[in-house]
Chain A
């Protein structure tokens, strides 16, 4: 596999759809773009039906632009809003049944290690708060207990967005939602601490207010999973529909939440810390040689 599947067969260049030709010529395969270069290359994701101004859609856009190795990545999603975009990218996508994502990812990662022993295949789950912390809770936790080497990204919009506004374990205390009018009676689950206790080697909590930091966090979570064990990102990705946020205020809302309960938080094991220090020293040395 690798880069082969994004080459156009000789003689077919003139007949392929323009978006595909652009992807091969100006896309991310085989190159590494900085997130600051967004808007100057052809992105992996195509048009998708997520709502206007959806910050989960924004997060997923940055996620694809940050993949360290898109040609060797497989994304797993499930029922929920995220899959509406995850399924429109030039990266293999597997739809796990609702709640099953982390069990599917465990099997897939193990199979890939057997089938491609000399390659790094990145497996990344991207799913909602309902999918990972409510209905998929058991499978999420057990994949961490077993130290499965893949990344889990929870796109937390604090509601069941795709089914019209039921409360989730990640909805904040007191919040009233369209299909939960009595108000949430208990606190938001502390997902990041659970991930740490369950054996993740890298965890982060982030609001998408700073593209550079977001890209770095996503890359780190994927690289740490490649070599050491399960990794987890808890991302605030607001649902402007269910929380009635005017679309032009979606970034302002994320900035406010970051100041209050979504401050950037990053934790990693000593082993992972040592690994990133080494990688960063090597990068600096390479730049100095240039």
Chain B
């Protein structure tokens, strides 16, 4: 079990913003679907640093992304 980020698509899409995506240290991990205006996490690549949570929660006060527990899927 380990932590990964998970974006709440419904809430995120209301802000038309991609700020957290621009600060994730990992390439091809925190993605943005332009057609629907929301961020989503490629969880197999997420290292669980929570910088995205700092950007969306602490800096922007939007709280649309959180850390969740996951297990390795085979």
Contacts and interface: CB of A to CB of B under 8 A. Distances in A.
**A-B interaction:** yes
Interface of A: 35-36, 38-40, 42-47, 50-55, 57-58, 61, 64, 211, 247-252
B30 interface: yes
Contacts of B49: 52-53, 247-248, 250
Contacts of A252: 54, 58
Given A39-B18, A248-B54, A252-B54, A211 B27 contact: no
B43 interface: no
Contacts of B54: 248-249, 251-252
Contacts of B45: 47
Which of B24, B47, B49, B59 has the most CB atoms of chain A within a 10 A radius of its CB? Answer: B49
Given A38-B22, A57-B25, A251-B55, 19 more contacts: A36-B18, A36-B22, A38-B18, A40-B34, A46-B27, A47-B26, A47-B27, A50-B25, A51-B47, A52-B25, A54-B25, A58-B25, A58-B51, A61-B26, A247-B48, A249-B54, A251-B23, A251-B59, A252-B54
B21 interface: yes
Interface string B47-74: 1111101110011000000000000000
A39 B30 contact: yes
Nearest to B40: A39
B9 interface: no
B19 to A, nearest CB: 9
Contacts of B18: 36, 38-39
A54 B54 CA distance: 15
Nearest to B3: A52
Contacts of A45: 27-28
A246 to B, nearest CB: 9
A39 B31 contact: yes
B33 to A, nearest CB: 8
Nearest to B18: A39
Given A47-B45, A61-B27, A64-B27, A38 B51 contact: no
Contacts of B34: 40
A44 B28 CA distance: 9
Interface string B4-15: 000000000000
29 contacts: A38-B18, A38-B32, A39-B18, A42-B28, A43-B28, A44-B27, A46-B27, A46-B28, A47-B26, A50-B25, A53-B49, A53-B50, A54-B25, A57-B25, A58-B25, A58-B51, A61-B24, A61-B26, A211-B22, A211-B23, A247-B50, A247-B51, A248-B51, A248-B53, A250-B49, A250-B51, A251-B23, A251-B54, A252-B58
Contacts of A251: 23, 51, 54-55, 59
Which of B26, B27, B28, B59 has the most CB atoms of chain A within a 10 A radius of its CB? Answer: B27
B6 to A, nearest CB: 15
Contacts of A250: 49, 51
Nearest to A249: B54
Nearest to A50: B25
A46 B44 CA distance: 13
Contacts of A54: 25
B41 to A, nearest CB: 10
